[in-house]
Structure 1
Amino acid sequence: MSNPRPLHQFLCDTAALHPSHTAVVEPGRGLISYVALDELSDRLRDRLVAIGVRPGDRVGIYLRKSIDAVAAIYGILKAGAAYVPVDPDAPPARNAYIMHNCAVRAVVMERRLEDRFSTEFFALGELPPLLLLDGTGGGGPLARMLDEADAQRPAAVTKNAMSPPEDLAYILYTSGSTGKPKGVMLSHENAVSFVDWCSAVFEPQPDDRFSSHAPLHFDLSILDIHVALKHGATLVLIPEERGKDALHLARLISEERISIWYSAPSILSLMAQFGDLHSQDCSSLRLVLFAGEVFPVKHLRTLCSQLPEPRYFNLYGPTETNVCTYYEVVPPVSDERTSPYPIGKVCEHLRGKVVDEHNAPVKPGEEGELCITGSGVMQGYWSLPERSAESFLVDNDGTRWYRTGDIVVEAADGNHIYRGRRDRMVKRRGYRVELGEIEAGLYQHPLVKEVAVVAVPDAEAGVRISAFLSSKGTDKASLIELKRFCAERIPLYMIPDHFKWLDALPKTSTDKTDYQRLKELG
């Protein structure tokens, strides 16, 4: 980067420029100014250093989305560590695996989650220090935890770490094909180059109000949080429990005067169908950004007809690159259009190429795999050197291209058109889902002999996931039991829509599971 600076410097600079401006709002639970957020994160920085956190360490965040969680992000970064957010609603065993896998030095978490998490973690290794909050909301629980810790042993005031560009800023765990989630390592340079690109394209202003719909462990949150706070804008947090309530979200845009909205298309589709947007004052909305999955054209048409004034951008990219291509959709969406819009051109801070199965570049108009290089591309997967190596195509000059696994066609105008996946990963409600991880979870059921999971396109949901099972005997688990079993092992967004017991799974001539046949049944 021409001006290397750590990710947390954005908050520090903004707190100096706009100290009294509202940084983060939790509707109904409080708000915090920039100077107060900066000071609260400073206090957490000092406490983390006092318990032994050093530059290069990892610190877990096991909190509901809140002002407390945002302050935790910046406190961890200021200590020179990388933050590792997990889904508080995911199975404790999965979160314990993630925290143990990346060897967190400490965890900032809610006390209500301690018992089950500790039990699961003890089965893997020695429990790291836990900084326990009595809840979340408005920053109060984090402040009280720090007050109590300081009363017992004051933490010395330290300076912010000036993390070099190559140091890790955060690790986001995504679904893994082996049945275990894998950690995507993103550096300060990766994050800052993306934030700077967003600044250039979307031109945020201090009077903007950003929605924060994505959970912290989802890569969409990087834009929500860090772009907003770089520019002195206000970040409006949307709790996960209200994230699919179309009427609530539509009212929130109106009541909170949201000007920049960012979410998966499935959420915008819900609002278009059930949000009664015509009755809401959404005149403040100037940008609608969506990413994570294909936006069904009929729902995008409805949304644009109800909200014709904002600019619409289709943002595409895996967690490993954050956003790597973008396309502006200009309303109205014609009635004749039935195919999804392109995923667009490669972002200016990156470069892309489309290659065939032999890694040779293809001509425009031909299908191939999209590969991306540049300052926004991840370092690799945590503690998975072989998987990391497999994920990159390396040129003779040493240039590393991340293989997205997405099949695209580059049109004559330079825009890329998405065709599908080359592996068994799908996008569902914006989340990345490895079908192999669902299978690995279901194989743990005592009645299951074989299992195969397939995904097929669905006009309403984007993708429908079906699980086919054969049993070891005559007993078969009920639908309710299977869903409950899955909920204890995988995140809710990964649970199949349908379960079907078969006498035996269909096989190919080489005695492999016939997934194509199952797709016909699914």
Structure 2
Amino acid sequence: MKADPTVAPDSLDQYLDRTAERLPDGEAVVGSDGRGITFRELHRLSAKVAAYLSRHGVGPGDRVGLLLPKSPETVAVMLGTLRAGAAYVPIDANGPAERAAKILSDCAVRVAFTTPDALLRLDRTAAQPHLTPVLLAPGAQEPSDTPHAVWADVLAADEKDAPRVEPDPDRLAYLLYTSGSTGTPKGVAITHRNAVSFVEWASAAFAVTEADRLSGHAPFHFDLSVFDVYAALRNGAGVHLIDTDLAASPRHLARFVSSRRITIWYSAPAILGAIGAMEPAPPGPADLRLVLFAGEPFPPAKLRRIKQTWPGPDYFNLYGPTETNVCTYHPIPDEVPDDRHDQYPIGAPCSHCDALLVDEDHNPVDGEEGFLAIAGPSVFPGYWRDGRPVQAASHFTTADGRLWYDTGDVVRREGGVFVFRGRRDRMVKRHGYRIELDEIEKALAAHPDLSDAAVVSTESDGQCVITAFIVAPTGAPSAPDLKRYCQGHLPRYMLPDRFQALEELPRTSTGKTDYRHLEGLCQAEPTIDSGNSSNVLRTSPARI
């Protein structure tokens, strides 16, 4: 009996089962290089992955790591992992090996699909005794120290041996690691129920059909990619993956959207702002009907320019932390007035979510401003700790007999919608990524030549700018040396935009770092000096 497509499935991989049966020859996933596979081929390849994992003892409750570039095969690994009943853990393959090793160890990944280069870098950090690596692509340098399998071993598996694990909507589907204030990344545990509720809402809200072609701009370790992959799978649409190099090139992206006849674009605002700023402006893509953006505020002046560059589609501002995925949204009017300087609202709650304003003690507030709390099936069960999701009491509250997640974002009710006002802590967002400034501080504190460090963020032209203040008794390292050090300990999106050396950090009357004073020091444009120690130092901004 065919599954009713109007009924939400119990697991994400069932989307592929349904669509492969309905549209076997439909275009499913296309890589940046134009190489694509059909839904039938994707289903077959994911079954081979599931059979391989099952044969090696991976099943419900296990975790599978992904240190891979975006490709059709990577999507097959994600779906094959889910079919085996396990959860996948996407990790930035180009990020610091030390960070990747921490994540692999933290969630005790059983098998990791990776590349030869990534495995070589992991070998140099720390042993992963629990880990069995599978190389997805051949490389010039085959790792010699770590026993490993190769992709051909997966392809040799018989898809008929793929397990049929009973779907469980409350089973862990994937772990997304975000910046942590303790200096260690923390895993956000997302169940099938969480993800399916979002995909069902998004599919209906944006009327996704098999005629659509979705862009895949977000990396798989970023929650925006959940819409790209699973809304496409659910509705028989094709998703066109955008690799790291292409993702950072506004002019090539503009051509990509037109040549691939993309109908739905979804990304953080930063790259849209860069496309809108191009001179001369690229031609507007004829097929684009929707532009969705999320992850950070979009300055109205930059939003106006991209709407002038791409005037045809409807635009929506989507809001939601990784813990809830999108929970509010707001349509952008056809015209962004020249005299508008305030950010557009984050909108009203999505149909699968409810919203509540709370105070510092998690008590509901009657006023127009408070911390935004969310309830509903998309709210995650907890952070990953000690081998399982653990609810963080400081982030949850109970009201009206329901469990609410406190986002920590201050919002104000205006005309029936929410307007973002800021944060209560030292978490910021840049290019859509969540960044705990304390994590950057802790990385710098480990530098052998620094005795102290403090990190602040300010806004310039609507963009988040991160400044690291450093104290180096024997002379500060050069800006290039500091940048190289940070690249070895932090993901690219967390790299400071500039470094400034001080004789000592300013302190409050209680002896704490005076961050407000440091923010004031950022207001005056510093002298650029990438060479010597006691002057202000600056690095190039992190790439989008």
Corresponding residue for 1:141? none
Q: State how far apart, in whole Å, the 1-side matches of 2:266 and 2:154 are.
A: 37
In the alignment, structure 2 segments of 5+ residues that lack a partner are 1-5, 140-148, 523-544
Q: Which of 46, 53, 56 is the equivalent residue of 2:58?
A: 53
Q: State how far apart, in whole Å, the 2-side matches of 1:374 and 1:149 are.
A: 38
Corresponding residue for 1:112? 117
Corresponding residue for 2:439? 437
Corresponding residue for 1:140? none
Q: SS state of the match for residue 405, structure 1?
A: strand
Deviation at 1:388, TM superposition (A): 1.4
Corresponding residue for 1:465? 466
Contact residue 4 and residue 164 of structure 1 kept, 8 A: no
Deviation at 1:354, TM superposition (A): 0.7
> Which residue identity does 1:465 align to in structure 2?
I
> Which residue identity does 2:162 align to in structure 1?
T
Corresponding residue for 2:384? 382
Deviation at 1:149, TM superposition (A): 5.3
Q: SS state of the match for residue 120, structure 1?
A: coil
Q: State how far apart, in whole Å, the 2-side matches of 1:116 and 1:27 are.
A: 25
> Which residue identity does 1:311 align to in structure 2?
D
Structure 1 segments of 4 or more deviating over 6 A? 153-156, 384-387
CA gap of 1:127–1:427, structure 2 versus 1, over 3 A, is same
Q: SS state of the match for residue 328, structure 1?
A: strand
Corresponding residue for 1:132? 135
| TM-score for the superposition, normalised by structure 2 | 0.90
Deviation at 1:26, TM superposition (A): 1.3
Deviation at 1:2, TM superposition (A): 7.3
Contact residue 50 and residue 155 of structure 1 kept, 8 A: no
Deviation at 1:340, TM superposition (A): 0.6
What does residue range 412-451 of structure 1 map to in structure 2 within 5 Å? 413-451=415-453
> Which residue identity does 1:491 align to in structure 2?
P
Q: State how far apart, in whole Å, the 1-side matches of 2:170 and 2:251 are.
A: 43
Q: State how far apart, in whole Å, the 2-side matches of 1:98 and 1:276 are.
A: 43
Corresponding residue for 1:11? 16
Corresponding residue for 1:258? 262
Contact residue 443 and residue 489 of structure 2 kept, 8 A: yes
The answer to whether 1:100 aligns with 2:102 is no
Q: State how far apart, in whole Å, the 2-side matches of 1:154 and 1:386 are.
A: 37
What does residue range 64-79 of structure 1 map to in structure 2 within 5 Å? 64-79=69-84
The answer to whether 1:336 aligns with 2:339 is yes
CA gap of 1:10–1:2, structure 2 versus 1, over 3 A, is closer
Deviates more, 1:4-13 or 1:248-257: 4-13
Deviation at 1:336, TM superposition (A): 1.9
The answer to whether 1:243 aligns with 2:244 is no
Corresponding residue for 1:514? 514
Q: State how far apart, in whole Å, the 2-side matches of 1:226 and 1:450 are.
A: 45
Corresponding residue for 1:167? 171
Residue by residue, what CA displacement relative to the aligned partner does 1:226-250 show, whole Å, maximum 9, x if unpaired?
A: 0011111010011111112110010
Deviates more, 1:301-310 or 1:374-383: 301-310
Contact residue 43 and residue 146 of structure 1 kept, 8 A: no
Contact residue 381 and residue 391 of structure 2 kept, 8 A: no
Q: State how far apart, in whole Å, the 1-side matches of 2:273 and 2:8 are.
A: 39
Corresponding residue for 1:139? none
Q: Which of 157, 161, 165 is the equivalent residue of 1:157?
A: 161
What does residue range 137-216 of structure 1 map to in structure 2 within 5 Å? 145-148=150-153, 157-216=161-220
In the alignment, structure 1 segments of 5+ residues that lack a partner are 137-143
Corresponding residue for 1:476? 476
CA gap of 1:154–1:347, structure 2 versus 1, over 3 A, is closer
Corresponding residue for 2:313? 310
Corresponding residue for 2:375? 373
Q: SS state of the match for residue 374, structure 2?
A: strand
Q: State how far apart, in whole Å, the 2-side matches of 1:150 and 1:288 are.
A: 37
State the number of aligned residues.
Answer: 506
Contact residue 349 and residue 355 of structure 2 kept, 8 A: yes
What is the alpha-carbon root mean square deviation over aligned residues?
Answer: 1.9
Q: SS state of the match for residue 42, structure 2?
A: helix
> Which residue identity does 1:440 align to in structure 2?
K
Residue by residue, what CA displacement relative to the aligned partner does 1:492-521 show, whole Å, maximum 9, x if unpaired?
A: 110111101101000000010000000001
> Which residue identity does 1:98 align to in structure 2?
I
Contact residue 5 and residue 162 of structure 1 kept, 8 A: no
| TM-score for the superposition, normalised by structure 1 | 0.93
Q: State how far apart, in whole Å, the 1-side matches of 2:351 and 2:274 are.
A: 32
Residue by residue, what CA displacement relative to the aligned partner does 1:23-66 show, whole Å, maximum 9, x if unpaired?
A: 01113251101100110010010000001101111100110111
Instruction: State percent identity of aligned pairs.
Output: 44
Corresponding residue for 1:492? 492
Contact residue 355 and residue 372 of structure 2 kept, 8 A: yes
Q: State how far apart, in whole Å, the 1-side matches of 2:158 and 2:38 are.
A: 25
